[in-house]
Amino acid sequence: MNNTELETLIKTIPKAELHLHIEGTLEPELMFAIAKRNNISLKYNSIQELKLAYNFHNLQSFLDIYYEGANVLLHERDFYDLTWAYLEKMHNENVLHVEIFFDPQAHTKRGVAFDTVVNGIYKALEDGKRKLGISGYLIMCFLRHLSSESATETLKLSMPFKDKIIGVGLDSSEINNPPSKFKEVFKKAMSYGYLTVAHAGEEGPPEYIWEALNSLNVLRIDHGVRCLEDKTLIDELIKRRIPLTVCPLSNIKLKVFSRLEEHNLKELLSRGLLVTINSDDPAYFGGYINENFLACQKALQLTKEDIYNLAINSFLGSFLSKKEKTHFINKINDVVKISSKH
């Protein structure tokens, strides 16, 4: 396949997105529009000025701006509009299933009610299913820079919405906030029927991935790129078939790797790990899912087989049922069959 054909394959192949923070899809234009209707004054005078601030040197420097941006979100309609804009984009990128993170504590600590957040996002997901045919799950993340008590409090707040939330995750500042800090609250969440994931091994060491596996019993690792530093860990991830939700453009923006050409995605794949490509916070990192695929294809010479495997992995690594996974994988095979005829 030549480069144009690979580009077409990336754009048309059915995909799932498994690592996406809905607050990280807040495009500057929408941020300004919502700020205006909510009578909130932003620190920046223009979209251009705001975009100049998107120059991160690590995870924390990004998070400071990300939480500031999320401050414009006050009403159910704001969360709906945010989620709907993302789903429309995904529809255009042939993304058929999404598992969306949200950060309730980033909103409840500002006095925005838990139900405002969930209802706004969830209504957009329902419309996404009905109008666009996209299926979607919601994963509630605990902010790891806050206390485990605050996480437990948030877990309690989620109880009336248990049927709208499929699982819990762990995000925010990784260094010095190891997964073990949240052992008890994850145990409780599992006993309530929530599935579990955690960010680990983005900036933090392989030991944090071990902790996410052994203390939190997670079903997926978000990022996990530092696992290659520990051979025993790689074997364990393979043995347990733990998916890694890798976010290539995010890793470059947050200086986890200095250039995309140096990203270890291809090596993770070649070791036999269940790797997926995701966008993390696309409004801040310069690209949604197809842009992540396209940039990786160019920088790392992804082949047709790599793209096919990554698309299959995105469904295999999801929380869909076995039957649904088979349905989506059949759809992938239809597209690949057609494209190989040309």
Number of neighbours of residue 235 by Cβ within 10 angstroms = 12
The H or E element containing residue 218 is none
From ligand HPA, Zn ion, none, interface partner of 78 (C-beta below 5 to 8 A by class): none
Among 280, 306, 310, 311, interactor with Zn ion by CB under 5 A: 280
With contacts defined by CB under 5 A, name the span among 160-168, 232-240, 278-286, 312-320 that binds Zn ion.
278-286
d(CA 253, CA 59) in angstroms, rounded, equals: 9
Place of tokens 């049922």: 321
Is residue 248 helix, strand or coil?
helix
Is residue 217 helix, strand or coil?
coil
Q: Is 202 an interacting residue with respect to ligand HPA (CB under 6 A)?
A: yes
Q: Give me the residue whose beta carbon is nearest to ligand HPA.
A: 171
Spatial neighbors of 273 by CB under 8 A, at least 6 apart, are 227, 234, 237, 238, 244
d(CA 247, CA 250) in angstroms, rounded, equals: 5
Strand partners, 135: 97
Among 10, 26, 34, 59, interactor with ligand HPA by CB under 6 A: 59
Instruction: Tell me 75's DSSP state.
Output: S
From ligand HPA, Zn ion, none, interface partner of 24 (C-beta below 5 to 8 A by class): ligand HPA
CA atoms 22, 26, 30, 36: torsion sign: positive
Active site residue 202: yes
Amino acid making up residue 302: L
Among 15, 21, 181, 325, interactor with ligand HPA by CB under 6 A: 21
From the list 125, 142, 252, 131, the residue with the least C-alpha distance to 194 is: 142
CB nearer Zn ion, residue 76 or residue 103:
103
What's the min distance (Å) between Cβ of 170 and ligand HPA? Answer: 9
From the list 247, 263, 274, 332, the residue with the least C-alpha distance to 299 is: 263
Q: Is 17 an interacting residue with respect to Zn ion (CB under 5 A)?
A: no
| Stretch 119-158: interaction string toward ligand HPA, x if CB under 6 A | ----------------------------------------
What's the min distance (Å) between Cβ of 48 and ligand HPA? Answer: 23
Among 280, 313, 315, 318, interactor with ligand HPA by CB under 6 A: 280
Among 78, 93, 99, 281, interactor with ligand HPA by CB under 6 A: 281
CB nearer ligand HPA, residue 87 or residue 141:
141
Evaluate whether 98 touches 17 at the Cβ level (below 8 Å): yes
CA distances from 236 to 162, 233, 241, 317, 333 (A): 31, 5, 8, 16, 30
Among 199, 220, 253, 325, interactor with ligand HPA by CB under 6 A: 199
Active-site position among 76, 99, 174, 202? 202
Which active-site residues does the annotation give?
202
Residues that bind Zn ion (CB under 5 A): 280
Residues that bind ligand HPA (CB under 6 A): 21, 24, 59, 66, 171-172, 199, 202, 250, 280-281
